[in-house]
Every structure is written in structure tokens, then in C-alpha cells.
């Protein structure tokens, strides 16, 4: 039951936001130009940041279209499906790096909106029960002052009308994945995540900002399976293709 105090607070927040929009019209989250229509980005920036072509919905590789491509067909993958906004390069790389700082929280949420705009039909087809952010160790989060994955997941959950579940914790402060050779990355995050609650029978969307080898997502997904998840799908703003490196 929502109390009258909560209702009043929500009304005040709504009135306040409308007043702010009148005094300070909303601006593009990337180039900061005034927006002529509703949205997080102006049309040119939105098109550029989400211009990536078709990707495999099983492994996230470019060029695929549908569940399975020549790169992953016949191979095991660590999740039931994957949705990616684009490759980790150029303007999208710059946006992801900017979003890793407290001043970039709005940009993180805007990138989450682009992700949903591009893959809403896919997300709906997965019949999801909740959205889970890939957690950051508390020491690293304290140093950075924010968690881009959490802000992304919050935006995705809101736009899909799903609950945001902090169902996994990171209890090991591991080395940054991009500091390690590719063969060592899976071992670096093995056992780094623990379930915080049971998620029996739920179909969950695990959200991160960048996917490199997929080791972090795989380890986090395993923690959700151990907690009873029926299926775990993943989503990332950017996927590092070929030899492109990214900051975890």
C-alpha cells in the first residue's frame, strides 16, 4: 500500500521535473544540444551510437542475425541469449568510458534506453521476470563513485516494466580483466560472485556495459543459476570484437 506521503513525494518529483524542463529544456545525453522531441539523444547521436548492424543473438558476434551464427553454431555458450547495442569502438567506446564516472550516470541511463529501443522485441520474446546488474566490488564502486552497469540495468528494468534485482554480489576484488591475457580472464573471476537471494524459476536479464571475452558475464550467470534461475539472458551496450580491448 502506497502511503499518502509517498504519493505526495512522487507528485512533487513530477511537478519538479516538469518545472525544470520548462526552465532548462532537455538536452542530448551525448552532444548536449537541446532536444526537439522526446528522447535521451538527438537523432544524429542516437543513430550513430546504435548504428551497429545485425549481431548473433546467441554469441553477440557481428554479422549474425538470429539465434546462432557460423562462429558459435555447434558450440556451448554461457547464456540463453545475448543482446548488444554495438561494437566497442569509436563514439560508442567514448560514451561507455564517459559513463563509468559519476557525471556519466545520465549517459548510462540513456544508453540503456538505446539498448531497449533496439532490442525491445527480443527482450519481450524472452519472457523475462527481472533485470540484474553485474555487480561491482564495493571497494571499486567507492573509488569510482558509481556503477555504470547498475545505472544501465535500472534504466532497462524501468523501460521494460520489470523489477531491478540486486541478486548477485561480488565478494572478491579481482584484477581488472583488461589487465590480463585472454586465457587468464575466466580464472580471474571464477568464484568472484555469490547469490544474494534465491531466484527460483525466474528468467533473468543480466546487464553489463562492456563484454570482452564474456568471462565476467559467465561467472555472474553461474551465480544466478546456483540461486535457482531458470534461464539467464545477457545484454551489453558494447562488445569488444576481434582484438579490441575494453575496460571492465
pLDDT tens-digit readout, 1-13: 445 544 544 454 4
Top-confidence range, 47-56, 76-85, 238-247: 76-85
Indicate the CATH number for domain 54-239.
Answer: 3.40.50.2020
Q: What is the pTM of this model?
A: 0.81
- Cα separation, 13 vs 10, in Å, equals 5
- Cα separation, 204 vs 230, in Å, equals 8
CA 232 from chain centre, in angstroms, equals 14
Are 111 and 148 contacting, i.e. CB atoms less than 8 angstroms apart?
no
**What DSSP designation does 179 have?**
G
pLDDT tens-digit readout, 94-142: 999 999 988 889 999 999 999 999 999 999 999 999 999 999 887 777 8
Torsion sign over Cα 33, 38, 41, 44: negative
Amino acid at each position: 500500500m502506497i502511503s499518502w506521503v509517498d504519493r505526495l513525494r512522487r507528485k512533487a518529483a513530477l511537478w519538479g521535473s516538469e518545472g525544470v524542463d520548462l526552465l532548462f529544456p532537455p538536452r542530448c545525453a551525448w552532444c548536449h544540444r537541446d532536444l526537439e522531441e522526446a528522447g535521451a539523444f538527438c537523432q544524429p547521436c542516437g543513430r550513430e551510437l546504435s548504428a551497429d548492424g545485425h549481431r548473433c543473438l546467441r554469441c553477440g558476434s557481428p554479422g549474425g542475425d538470429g539465434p546462432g551464427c557460423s562462429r558459435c553454431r555447434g558450440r556451448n555458450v554461457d547464456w540463453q541469449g545475448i543482446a548488444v547495442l554495438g561494437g566497442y569502438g569509436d563514439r560508442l567506446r567514448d560514451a561507455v568510458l564517459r559513463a563509468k564516472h559519476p557525471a556519466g550516470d545520465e549517459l548510462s541511463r540513456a544508453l540503456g534506453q538505446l539498448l531497449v529501443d533496439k532490442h525491445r522485441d527480443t527482450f519481450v520474446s524472452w519472457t523475462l521476470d527481472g533485470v540484474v546488474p553485474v555487480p561491482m566490488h564495493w571497494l571499486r564502486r567507492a573509488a569510482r563513485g558509481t556503477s555504470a552497469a547498475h545505472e544501465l540495468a535500472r534504466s532497462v528494468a524501468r523501460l521494460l516494466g520489470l523489477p531491478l534485482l540486486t541478486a548477485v554480489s561480488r565478494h572478491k576484488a579481482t584484477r581488472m580483466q583488461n589487465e590480463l591475457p585472454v586465457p587468464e580472464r575466466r580464472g580471474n573471476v571464477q568464484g568472484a560472485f555469490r547469490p544474494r537471494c534465491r531466484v527460483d524459476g525466474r528468467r533473468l536479464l543480466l546487464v553489463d556495459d562492456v563484454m570482452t571475452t564474456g568471462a565476467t558475464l559467465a561467472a555472474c550467470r553461474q551465480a544466478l543459476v546456483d540461486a535457482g534461475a531458470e534461464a539467464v539472458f545477457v545484454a551489453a551496450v558494447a562488445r569488444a570484437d576481434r582484438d579490441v580491448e575494453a575496460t571492465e
